[in-house]
Amino acid sequence: MTSANQEPAKVVFNGISKSFGRKGESLRVLEDINLEVQDGEFICLLGPSGCGKSTLLNIVAGFEESDAGSVTIDGEIVAGPNPQRVFVFQEYGIFPWASVWDNVALGLRHLSEQERAKIVEATISMVGLSGFEAAYPMELSGGMKQRVEVARALAVSPDVIYMDEPFGALDSLTRLGMRAEIVRIWQQEKKTILFVTHDVDESIQLADRIVVLTERPGRIADIVEVGLEHPRDLGSGEYGAIKNRLYDLLGVAHTI
């Protein structure tokens, strides 16, 4: 439902359910997911391993079909992948034989050389990799490789970005830096982002709203509005209260 003074939702999940066949049996992964995402919103999908977070992301991205329900973006049903909606994977998806420049330019081959160069330069600068244009992935740190993948996604000017635990392989300090970086880029570009994570702190540090899924089959347990200004104070009482609420929803003991 959309109120009279609110824009129509950008992304709408309507009754999404999904099962997979396993050893001759049907394994229910998602059950009746209903969710509306507004244009420019940063949404985190939070839940335990195996609850269907990545499957839900694959469905909205058009890589998987749901058994029931539908997903619409800008009022059109998602029937497959769309070049205006890009996916940043958990593992590095950049090409090891291509330079930073060539990786970022991958989706811009339809443009003139001048237009392509302008966009690549601006995007590489945006993610803080100026000076590394000629470097190859083997010469980059994990955090820098992830920046290349984010730059490649941004270069095609998508209207929706899907991110599936993109910082999971990074060390804790690099993860903190990348979270701050993705927030900075999101504030600058105002893209709609759907971000899968199982990390409670990561979800609070990033999201406008956190969609908490139950254990399999994944259902929406609750949707938590964060309501904190960026940059977020990890030691504040408000932050701690949201964290405790998320732990309660996930059924995780959080006292010693």
Tell me the pLDDT tens digit for each residue of 163-173: 999 888 788 88
At 44 the pLDDT is 98
Rounded mean pLDDT of 241-245?
A: 96
Rounded mean pLDDT of 45-70?
A: 95
| pLDDT per residue as tens digits for the range 90-145 | 666 789 999 999 999 988 988 899 999 999 999 999 998 999 999 999 999 988 99
Rounded mean pLDDT of 53-66?
A: 96
The total of other beta-carbon atoms located within 10 Å of residue 41's CB is 19
The domain ranges of the chain are 92-157
Instruction: Write the CA distances from 34 to 12, 13, 148, integer angstroms.
Output: 8, 5, 33
| pLDDT per residue as tens digits for the range 13-47 | 999 999 998 766 888 999 999 999 999 999 999 99
